[in-house]
Amino acid sequence: MNELEIKKTVEQVLARYAAEKAAPCATPACAKDDAGTGGIMLEVSARHVHLTKDAMSVLFGQGAALTEKRALSQPGEFLSEERVKLVTAKGVIDNVAVLGPERSAVQCELSMTDCRTLGINAPVNLSGDLSGAGSVIIVGPCGVVDAKSCVIVARAHIHLTPADASRLGVSNGQHVRVAVDSKRPVTFDDVIIRVKDSFAQAMHIDFDEANACAYDKSASARIVR
């Protein structure tokens, strides 16, 4: 096998590996709450982007709409069939998932590791807060979007309904400490509580945080204040 063939094989393997990691929301782990322990479903969210209608038209063609692949845990949200490429002067990340539905602003949610790969200085913000956000070029099959102030590292947070929040004794916007019981137990500080009628109970962390706590299906999360 010559050098060109080896390089092609490596690229194919890496592409397959990236595709496997690209689907947001790994299989969740849910701590049993039979004894009122306050167990919370733990989900891992991979890198992904949210697009506006205008960005969709540029990237995928005039009038393009997202094609739902599967529903996510939060009602109304879904993983789409569409994929994009993120590009900066320092790096490229292929096969990045697009989540639906469309939003009013373009938002890229990356891990710190992703940001270092791309040379982006991104803040740790809650989804929807683009203050201080980094910039990236988004490439689709039909065009390119120069997305300014759109890249954040998502802050760990917990989605709760008002009933869940009342049961757990927390309120919207509260900062809490959360213990993750796993093969490598970790306590996360400064986790934000988000409360809304339409939410489904779940704690969201990214892949860097998941690796830190050795996340697997047996992992569970509990608020320890």
pTM of the predicted structure, to 2 decimals: 0.83
Give me the pLDDT at residue 12, please: 52
**Domains of the chain (ranges plus CATH)?**
23-44+156-223 (2.40.40), 45-154 (no CATH)
The answer to whether residue 97 scores a pLDDT higher than 90 is yes
> In Å, how far from its chain's centre is CA 27?
13
Residue 218, token pair as written in the block = 């047996």
Lowest mean pLDDT among 17-26, 68-77, 89-98, 189-198: 17-26
For residue 109, is pLDDT > 90? yes
Asked whether the predicted pLDDT for residue 220 surpasses 90, the reply is no
Mean pLDDT of 65-93: 97
Query: pLDDT averaged over the chain?
Result: 88
For the cut 90, the answer to whether the pLDDT of residue 213 exceeds it is yes
* 218 confidence band (pLDDT: 50, 70, 90): confident
Residue 34 pLDDT more than 50?
A: no
3-state secondary structure the chain: CCHHHHHHHHHHHHHHHHHHHHCCCCCCECCCCCCCCCEECEEEECCEEECCHHHHHHHHCCCCCCCEEEECCCCCCEEEEEEEEEECCCCEEEEEEEEECCCCCCEEECCHHHHHHHCCCCCEECCCCCCCCEEEEEECCCCEEEEEEEEEEECCEEEECHHHHHHHCCCCCCEEEEEEECCCCEEEEEEEEEECCCCCCEEEEEHHHHHHCCCCCCCEEEECC
The more confident residue out of 15 and 103 is 103
Give the model confidence (pLDDT) of 116-167 as tens digits: 999 999 999 999 999 999 999 999 999 999 999 999 999 999 999 999 999 9
pLDDT digits (tens, 9 = 90+) for 176-202: 999 999 999 999 999 999 999 999 999
